[in-house]
Structure 1
């Protein structure tokens, strides 16, 4: 890599792989390949795509002026092999999320959704077990509090009606 006269690298130049030289426009360029054939003409005399000696059908001809680089790019940079597969991301069960949300909106629905989501999580292996459990607990607690409040109102109404009808 060439540096400006100050000796520091140019931060806008792409970094070259170790051992590779950047393109130098001052290097002389030959218009003819080393085989003596003009570019665009196959060396075997057959049209492109036709199988030639030792070359599989449908493969492009080797790059002129360079050795055929096996297993990578023909431009001199090393091949990187097969790319890794995308990681599998486990999704969160939607019913578990809804169970937690409905615990604050309508608690009995949270109980039903929590049980359904726990069953789905066991079958599919999705994430959200903690959300479903939290939705179940909160659903049971808020349903219990709601039942106690309703029972308190019923008892208060019965006591109020009973005391007002006395002679």
Structure 2
């Protein structure tokens, strides 16, 4: 019981000392970086607990203040207008016409860029199966991709 009481007193004293240090920190001084590095060294096991400043430039020291600072930040970002320079904008008509054709070379390149040893999708097909099928697999994937691009849906025989 005495041990628990003494630990609580030490913890409370540490908490009060840290609270006073953080309240007196000037966010414009170089002390902020020293404190941030110290916190990072002391709290190695704590993940994603970084210093956050609100839009007024004040440090957010508790979770509620951090959430409010992030909310202010995102609201400000969503309301920023883009300055259009009308002299550099061109009046281009929308693109029309057939989509770019998918070639066999494009399919081969895409298949060999895929990572091996990944889990199968809902159909149970993995990349190794397509690679093992060689020309037949490439041809099937080419037909499927071309059909999806030109018709805008998966062919019924592939569903």
Q: Which has the larger radius of gyration?
A: 1
TM-score by length of 2: 0.21
Give 1 or 2: higher helix fraction.
Answer: 2
